[in-house]
A and B are shown apart, each in its own frame.
Chain A
Amino acid sequence: MAGPAGVWLLVLLTEARAISYTVKLPQFEGPLDLLLSLVQQGQVDLREVPLGRIAEDYLAAARTQLDLEEATEVLWMLAALIEMKSRLLVPKPTTPEEPLPEPEEPFDLNERLEEKLEEYRAFKEVATALRALEDYQHRVFARPETDDPNAVFLEGVSLDDLFRAFQQVLERAKDEVGEIPTEEVKVAERMEAILDLLGQHREGVLFSDLFKASATKLNVIVTFLALLELIKNRRIRAQQPQRFAAIRLMLVTA
């Protein structure tokens, strides 16, 4: 078994890259998960470790900054340590007569523990390798994805802007002498027409181009409703490079 000095040196060396909660005690300084595995390996005498103080220190630290994930792990690890310590402290029943050879169970348990630990170490190693890949890839940039379903469909366009543009068009339509159109204008038809128009102009169409100069008020209103519907359904996208600039409408490509 390695002497405590050796163990603590190891602790200090490993500590540098540990992210888990760090214990600072006169007897031990290092990440809590390391303490746990050292105890499990029998390299640290749990009787020397004041668990109450670790808990108090952690609670004090958690009061200023609480990471739920970390808290969960710390809680679990402390519970495991407390359980192990309590087993240590409870006096073992003195064995009558000659000490019975320990049944196989504890031996198996140790072996299984060792196996588990080995497995866990292997994954820690993999995690380190993945961390290096992550670090590389985090410094590599490619063209950002477009048209992803979470994208904002009204880029830089506020509802106000849309209505202001609408008012301007209405203003223009006002000059036309009111005449009740004989044919009805249907929102669905205007939606079709807008999609058709945008399909022919992949680079986009200006908002004002959507409303022909000769359009009647009804036509303008219905077209506007159709436009809102299409934006809501994420069929088209409205872009405005800056405030009060012309709004450009584009087909959303799947």
Chain B
Amino acid sequence: MTLPANLPPQPPELDLEELKKAAECVLLVSSAPVTVEHLVAALGTTPQIVHALVWELQQDYAGRGLQIQSLAGGFQLCTRPELAPYIQRFLQLDHREPLSRAALETLAIVAYRQPTTRAEVEAVRGVRSEHVLERLLERHLIREVGRKAALGRPILYGTTEGFLRYFGLKNLHDLPILESGDPRQALVAPTMQSSTAPE
């Protein structure tokens, strides 16, 4: 590849070490996962370099109390789970209340079948799920994403970014895959299948 004659003035040589430190600082001050785009804007560099910097930082944090999680489409500096007792003592937090079994099942169905309706959730669970769905809405783990073009125009539910953060998932493709049978087939609704499943 030949370089064009009139190159714009070259930027001063990239100081990758400094950029890495800067990326670390950005992650420190943010209370939410920082997206690659935000890091690109903050550091004035390319997505490739951002990925490389974060990867290096992740290696640097091996053996430290902190880690950089890749979740909800971004990166977040956070503590390691084995140190939780100390943090809980410091923050005077009790053990965080886990979701009820019913809530977790319902959430699983919404996550894999989204967008989905209450009736569809109830068809799988075999029990009324109105109350559980309401609780999940209150906790911002699911949200209304529209209405189904069907009789009664029922509300369609989908998961939120908070859902990804709650479970530490990068994105919806990061949802656990089942080992038994042909899970994706059974779990992924036709609408999602066309856009996400590779086959």
* SS of A interface (majority): helix
Note all chain A residues with C-beta closer than 8 A to B166.
134, 137
- Per-residue CB proximity of B53-79 to A under 8 Å, as 1/0? 000000000000001010000001111
Report the Cα distance A30→B99, complex, angstroms.
Answer: 21
Contact A140 B78 (CB under 8 A): yes
Q: Mark B162-199, 1 if CB is under 8 A from A, else 0.
A: 00011111000001101111010011000000000000
CB contacts (< 8 Å) of A140 on chain B: these are: 67, 69, 78-81, 84, 168
User: 8 Å CB contacts to A: which residues of B68-104?
Assistant: 69, 76-82, 84, 87, 91, 95-96, 98-102, 104
Interface status of A122 (Cβ within 8 A of chain B): yes
B168 and A126: CB pair below 8 A?
Answer: no
* Residues of chain B from 110 to 160 with CB closer than 8 A to chain A in the complex: 111-112, 123-128, 131-132
Interface residues of A in 116-172 (CB under 8 A from B): 116, 118-120, 122-127, 129-131, 133-146
Q: Which residues of chain A have C-beta atoms less than 8 A from B125's C-beta?
A: 120, 123
A140-B81, A146-B31 as given contacts; A131 in contact with B98, CB under 8 Å: yes
Interface size class of A (residues with CB under 8 A): 35 or more
For the complex with contacts A120-B124, A138-B84, 13 further pairs of A-B residues with Cβ separation under 8 Å are A20-B101, A119-B124, A122-B181, A122-B187, A123-B105, A127-B101, A131-B104, A133-B168, A133-B169, A140-B67, A140-B80, A140-B168, A145-B31
**Residues of chain B at the chain A interface (Cβ within 8 Å):** 28-32, 67, 69, 76-82, 84, 87, 91, 95-96, 98-102, 104-105, 107-109, 111-112, 123-128, 131-132, 165-169, 175-176, 178-181, 183, 186-187
Q: Which 4 A-B pairs have the closest CB atoms?
A: A139-B81, A139-B84, A129-B176, A142-B78
A residues near B, CB below 8 A?
Answer: 19-20, 68-69, 72-73, 76-77, 116, 118-120, 122-127, 129-131, 133-146
